[in-house]
Amino acid sequence: MLDDFFTRALVAGVGLALTAGPLGCFIIWRRMSYFGDTMAHSALLGVALSLLLNLNLIVAVFVVASLVSLLLLFLQRAGSLSADTLLGILSHASLSVGLVLLAFMTWVRVDLVSFLFGDILAVGRADIDIIWGGGILVLMALVYLWRPLIASTVSEDLAEAEGLNPKRARLYFMLLLALVIAIAMKIVGILLITSLLIIPAATARRFASTPEVMAVVSSVVGAVAVVGGLFGSLKFDTPSGPSIVVAALALFVLSLLPFGSGWRNTEQEGAGR
């Protein structure tokens, strides 16, 4: 029989993986991996502000990640610097400011390791409700935004011509990503969130013939990685969050072996829809 804490970790991790899979696909299709990293790093600033102002942790992280994404959009429109330069500045600046704020709060004892690498074994029933409830909302919103997001991924001009408002869809996608980062932080940590978003989607890409199939396969791969990583962590007494990422990496490496069917470029599939 599995202990209650381990069962809760499995339920929470699988819920997060099912949510992160489709979002990770859009991160890969849109070449936004560095953007996801920037939003994840900003989570530490949200942690610091939540402790300083006595705010709910998830709400604070979501607000900070959303503000960082909005700031990026504003700076991109200003056109003074390239996107990768802006991402680099925002990523390291938000992480560093968060660390400095935590250092100044000497009256608060903070376990930085749990924030950086997660502590999925410590999730409670309330955390599971938040993960699954937030995950369902994210997936419902993603279904609603699916067509404009796919169209704008292929061509923003085409999406504009079809009246799909790609800029608004992109903004909503960023807010959904901020929400997932907020609820994922406790499970895999700030430094590993992007890995859970990207690696399963990259694995699924090899076997997917359509964007929809890739989104589903990505969720399944992420769930398998969570289960495999947690049982591996239990067997070898390794950190749970990194073990999940290592399991996802192992699945990715297996997907590169020359067996199974090939894959077609999902962006091209989306163009035909």
Q: Give ∠ CA 130-17-194 in degrees, rounded to 5.
A: 100
Tell me the pTM.
0.88
Find tokens 């090899």 and name the residue: 206
**How close are the terminal C-alpha atoms of the chain, in Å?**
48
Tell me if 122 sits within 8 A of 186, measured CB to CB.
Answer: yes
Reported in sequence order, the residue ranges of the chain that DSSP labels E, i.e. its strands, are: none
Q: Which residue segments constitute the domains of the chain, with CATH numbers given? A: 4-271 (1.10.3470.10)
Give the separation between CA 62 and CA 176, rounded to whole angstroms: 9
According to the model, what pLDDT value does residue 132 have?
A: 95
Tokens found for residue 78 = 């200003």
According to the model, what pLDDT value does residue 1 have?
A: 62
According to the model, what pLDDT value does residue 268 have?
A: 46
According to the model, what pLDDT value does residue 115 have?
A: 86
According to the model, what pLDDT value does residue 77 have?
A: 80
According to the model, what pLDDT value does residue 157 have?
A: 82
Give the separation between CA 43 and CA 273, rounded to whole angstroms: 36
Could you list the mean pLDDT of each consecutive 10-residue stretch along the chain, which spans 273 residues? 87 95 94 87 92 91 92 80 85 92 86 86 92 95 93 84 84 92 86 91 91 96 96 93 94 84 45 44
- Sign, CA torsion 1/121/175/207: negative
- What are the residues whose beta carbons fall under 8 Å from the beta carbon of 168, sequence distance 6 or more? 148
CA distances from 104 to 72, 93, 110, 112, 195 (A): 27, 16, 12, 14, 30
According to the model, what pLDDT value does residue 244 have?
A: 95
